[in-house]
Amino acid sequence: MPLYFNKKDMGKPKVTPEEKFPELFAVNRKIDRRTHSMWEALKMLGYVDCYHTLIDPCDNDMWLDAINGKFFGGRPFSKTEWDQLLGHCQAVSDFPACAFAPELIKAYPDAKVILTNRPVDAWYKSCIGTIRRSMTSPLLYFIGFFDTEVLGKWTPMTRALFKAVFDDDFEKNGKQVYVDQYETVRSLVPKDQLFEYQIGEGWDRLCDFLEVDKPPYPYPVTNEGAAFQERNRLRLQLALQRGLPNILMTASVVAAGLAIGSKMVGCW
């Protein structure tokens, strides 16, 4: 559910996520052309700085602050915080921004909003087989314990958001939350600023809504579960590489402790 921001709202990072985690962005460039179809379509239409948390790993701490502020008694974000987090973007799409649709619509009342319509059962099945599955992976938690910069921050942020949005029970509440979310957005956005995109319909109506020229190439394909799993596999591999020094340090400390313990037992 991308929301579009005016370029006048720009302002942000001295160090970009791509500069901090170039290898992670290399993975995204390799995989994401097959996935996140609306995100990719927007980039093809000239919205170069199109935000998605899976490609902006530096912001997990701030998203967790936003979650706590909205759902768990913290201080809700004002436009100042949203500008700090998203003000440099031309567009923002998907998770976790979609959980803050009312707040973003209020903060950026002139934004154009696109709802990507998808049958609720298909969306639910996709979530169960992709992000929900990855969230319950023991391997993800193990590697995240050592990869403190990216995966170790993404995991608690994601869990907190799912707990808040789906009342800690995605399997039971997921479909109704999905339906309610769409109705909320429809009720908040003026009709001339809202476009409901039907999955698979191509460029024509989207380009008319955004007032841009139709590209000479096909619209990107829709999300594929296999592509999501491949992206996760590569991200876990990179996370393991980033966490390897911590793993080795932990192993060394444990080994040293066992050695000292063994000597002490021998002395007794």
pLDDT at 5: 39
- pLDDT tens per residue across span 63-77: 999 999 999 999 999
Segment 86-112 shows an average pLDDT of 90
Spell out the residues 6+ positions from residue 29 whose beta carbon is closer than 8 angstroms to its own.
none
Q: Evaluate if residue 259 carries a pLDDT over 90.
A: no
Spell out the residues 6+ positions from residue 40 whose beta carbon is closer than 8 angstroms to its own.
32, 33, 220
Token output for 264:
């002490």
Segment 137-147 shows an average pLDDT of 62
Nearest Cα neighbor of 215 from 17, 27, 46 is 46
Q: What angle do CA 219, 56, 38 make, to 5 degrees?
A: 15
Segment 125-131 shows an average pLDDT of 79
pTM: 0.72
pLDDT at 158: 85
pLDDT at 14: 38
